[in-house]
Amino acid sequence: MPSTTWADAQGLCTFVDASPSPFHVCATVSMLLTGNGFTELHETDSWPGEPGRYFLVRGGSLIGWSTEGLGRTAPFRIVGGHTDSPNLRVKQHPDLSSAGWQLVGLEPYGGAWLNSWLDRDLGISGRLSVRAGNAVEEKLVRVDEPILRVPQLAIHLSEDRKGVHLDPQRHLNGVWGVGSERRSFIDFVADRAEVPADAVLGWELMTHDLAPSALVGTEQDLVSAPRLDNQGTCYAGTQALLAAAENPGDRVPVLALFDHEEVGSMSDRGAFSDLLSTVLERIVLGRGGGREEFLQTMAGSICASGDMAHATHPNYPERHEPAHHIAVNGGPVLKVNQNLRYATDSAGAGAFALACDQAGVPLQRYVHRADLPCGSTIGPITASRTGLSTVDVGAAQLGMHSSRELMGARDVRAYSDALAAFLTPTA
């Protein structure tokens, strides 16, 4: 599919539906990059000295960049984001039964809005570790059949008909059949993945809502989709990198998409890892530069950490800072927090405001109410791990961390245009 077609809200829907897990986000982005002249590199290989378009994948994280037409000390312009979204994940001993029902043991990943996962037809995706002789291979798997459902309690059985408290241990197991015959869920997934059941040595499996993403509203000016936090940024950031590679400026455009943001980023491939700084250094070293040149390059570089932002909710306007209302289809959002839950300082704000101006899109400025705890993102982590000047930005949405979220259709293009302008600043 040509990038011009993808660079709209329908393209985002296609992207999200293709990407039920962080591993599938990386596969989808890899496919888009490969189709536009990018070459995959592996960390275990030595990297080519020639300028070019490259990317690498580490688990559920991906970094892509282009050095075409650029000297080896050109500073970096980085767009960051995260590939993971809150969901329900499969336990290590998933096979359960209760009251004549066959169940799959599930538990929440990240800050999932648990009520939104009830009464939905759920598929399964993720990856398997599979024995191949004396080695272990990774295999992506997805099952887009409605095999699981977490059923809600009938209102007549609740104590006050006002809803129930959801206990993450007891109330989130998925129904996948009836009867007393013991069934192996992992054997079922292995069968769908076309690998022998006894060859499966490990798994990271998660549920996804099977209802397809859609443009909604009479004007179709809204996107209803799962995982907009933060595949909205993964999609817009990928479009921005493709545009920057086509129209190089004097900075190296980089896209850095991390796994594990929703659980604190502390992993081999999360924003707390060495992934970004290692790749940036290898970009300079691989082209014949030294450590001194790398550090010089870093000092002139800047990162826009992209994550979704809270639009002002029409039914709860009092939950928002009164003078900082955020509209969907109102343009990208600059996120500022005095206590550094967001990394934005005035220098970063200036760089992103200038990019929005150059892209011809409006900029909105978000501040969380001072009497509510503010969420965070990879921005402060990336800034403290790398020393890069960092600005937190995003696109507006409702229902963050619901299994189904809502954003503005026109914001998709505005967001990717702003990120593209950020990656290729004009003098």
Residues that bind Zn ion (CB under 5 A): 229-230, 307
Please say which residue, 248 or 380, places its beta carbon nearer to Zn ion.
380
First to last CA, the chain: 32
Please say which residue, 59 or 394, places its beta carbon nearer to Zn ion.
394
CB of 230 to Zn ion, least distance (A): 4
CB of 262 to Zn ion, least distance (A): 7
* DSSP conformational letter for 374: P
Angstrom distances, CA of residue 412 to CA of 83, 153, 360 = 17, 37, 14
Please say which residue, 11 or 80, places its beta carbon nearer to Zn ion.
80
Dihedral over alpha carbons 69, 73, 77, 78 (to 10 degrees): 110
CB of 273 to Zn ion, least distance (A): 17
* Pairwise CA distance, residues 29 & 130, whole Å: 24
Residue in 326, 331, 327 with CA at minimum distance from that of residue 356: 331
Dmax over CA atoms of the chain, in Å, equals 71
CB of 270 to Zn ion, least distance (A): 13
8 A C-beta contact, residue 223 and residue 408: yes
Q: HSE, CB side, 13 Å, CA atoms: give it for residue 49.
A: 3
CB of 297 to Zn ion, least distance (A): 28
Please say which residue, 83 or 102, places its beta carbon nearer to Zn ion.
83
CB of 390 to Zn ion, least distance (A): 15
Please say which residue, 80 or 331, places its beta carbon nearer to Zn ion.
80
Radius of gyration for the chain, computed over Cα atoms and rounded to the nearest angstrom: 22
DSSP three-state, residue 196? coil
Residue in 308, 420, 360, 395 with CA at minimum distance from that of residue 3: 420
* Pairwise CA distance, residues 295 & 299, whole Å: 6
Q: Kindly tell me the burial class for residue 68, based on how many C-beta atoms sit within 10 Å of its own C-beta (0-12, 13-18, 19 or more).
A: middle
Please say which residue, 229 or 392, places its beta carbon nearer to Zn ion.
229
Please say which residue, 231 or 312, places its beta carbon nearer to Zn ion.
231
CB of 84 to Zn ion, least distance (A): 8
* Pairwise CA distance, residues 107 & 172, whole Å: 7
HEC assignment per residue over 275-307? HHHHHHHHHHHHCCCCHHHHHHHHHCCEEEEEC
The token pair that represents 43 in the structure block = 């960390």
CB of 225 to Zn ion, least distance (A): 14
Please say which residue, 209 or 307, places its beta carbon nearer to Zn ion.
307
Please say which residue, 209 or 281, places its beta carbon nearer to Zn ion.
209
CB of 356 to Zn ion, least distance (A): 20
H runs (alpha helix) in 140-226 = 185-193
CB of 56 to Zn ion, least distance (A): 22
Please say which residue, 209 or 392, places its beta carbon nearer to Zn ion.
392
